[in-house]
Chain A
């Protein structure tokens, strides 16, 4: 599946301007929220909130549909398979041999599928409103050591480059009669080796050059490194942060401490 390498859609919405650290925390809290809720009604409310946020973020419809294509397929499978393997409760709607479909089973299946949607949506919100550079910046500011952050940023930067190289090598080998989509296991493995060996060798040569580039730019020379871009939390960011935490903390307390069924 060749998807867009970057889900990020440039825009000026409040979601885009939010500090990446807040968004990262929000994804964590929203994911946890989706995981602890099991009642369909509440999950649907969460779904509605997610959809509104996606709309507010002005995501491109095409990209969103592409990004969710796999998720929708998984959701459909869940709705179909869950009742078959979770035949608990009453009323029983259908029975054939070992298979028993109950209404609670179906409802639970639908709830699970909706939960997956909420999970996918919260991560999608992060990915399409945050540029890769901001993501790495945020992680480093949150404590990721600089050298790891640098390696991560470099990996992201070289992703399109290597994708192009893989495609180019695929073409080059196809011009020698190689057909990747035909043949048994052994032949296909051999064909993938034909594509991957030149790719890896090219990549390793690049790594050598990159290492030299890093050294000639005084990598690691001092421990008190300064940054070109500083992330500053604004008032709005703090508000968003508290909302993100509250959105999880309140339902969690309700469910686990006060035993309100969620």
Chain B
């Protein structure tokens, strides 16, 4: 009943997760069996409450963590045969706290760190750095030290430094935490463009409004399992499941549900849609 995103014939799988279980050293099982395929060009959001395992899953994808059981395959090659550095060429991971990655004396130097580590020649490094700084709107601050920038700018530096490594997949861990509305919009504009350029984007977040507005596919996790994998409409149709997974549905969806008696469909995901349905509604609002 809940529609799955139909696989396009041209899309190939870039990340394949098969039967992955993960247990931390202390015995805590964070992933209880995950199967998911991420296709090239996907714009995917992994959502779930704290402790649902979303960050653990993401770290299993770029090699920072290795599955206790099961396998993760990137572009057809298992991660067990690759180091984190090798995987960093394909999978870029921007951490939740940008202050955990920034250490250079200027934004330019910072952005260069990644591609230099990957061994690109100087000309390439300069080009990619320039491109990422522009794409993230950092040209005006590129010679300033990263720690003197605002949180929003530091986030963008962190993402730019990942972008400069030119990966095929971007994993962004809670990129909008702590940002105000303007900063969020600026950031997500850059992220949307990444996907338009053909890169696969994986957003890890619990901000459902963000998901509704930007993601094309939503994976809901709870207690180490995937409980729902669908497009945003499909996900917001089932509010109870969201609440059980410790997620707060976006206000638009909640309102749509309450107005369903007025004929508003439940799978509304943007305020514009809600207005449309109310205006052209079945006459209850006169």
- C-alpha gap A193/B103 in the complex (Å): 8
B42 → chain A closest CB, angstroms = 20
Interchain CB contact under 8 A, B147 and A201: yes
Interchain CB contact under 8 A, B117 and A172: no
- C-alpha gap A201/B154 in the complex (Å): 14
Known: A194-B113, A201-B147. A176 touches B165 (CB 8 A): yes
Interchain CB contact under 8 A, A175 and B93: yes
CB nearest neighbor in A for B105: A197
B150 → chain A closest CB, angstroms = 15
Q: Specify which of A165, A173, A175, A197 is in contact with B62 (CB 8 Å cutoff).
A: A175
Known: A178-B85, A179-B85, A194-B113. A173 touches B99 (CB 8 A): no
Interchain CB contact under 8 A, B103 and A168: no
Interface size for A (C-beta < 8 A) is 18
How does the 8 Å CB contact mask read for A152-173 relative to B, with 1 for contact and 0 for none? 0000000000000100110111
List residues 235-263 of chain B with CB under 8 A from any CB of chain A: none
Q: Say if the beta carbon of A177 comes within 8 Å of chain B.
A: yes
Q: How large is the interface on B (under 10, 10 to 19, 20 to 34, 35 or more residues)?
A: 20 to 34
CB nearest neighbor in B for A173: B101
Q: Specify which of A168, A179, A194, A198 is in contact with B83 (CB 8 Å cutoff).
A: A179
Q: Specify which of B100, B118, B165 is in contact with A172 (CB 8 Å cutoff).
A: B100
CB nearest neighbor in B for A196: B103
Q: Specify which of B88, B97, B99, B102 is in contact with A175 (CB 8 Å cutoff).
A: B88
Which residues of B have CB within 8 Å of A11? none
Interchain CB contact under 8 A, A176 and B103: no
A79 → chain B closest CB, angstroms = 35
Q: Say if the beta carbon of A202 comes within 8 Å of chain B.
A: yes
List residues 183-202 of chain A with CB under 8 A from any CB of chain B: 193-194, 197-198, 201-202
A33 → chain B closest CB, angstroms = 39
Tell me the A residues contacting B by CB distance below 8 Å: 165, 168-169, 171-179, 193-194, 197-198, 201-202
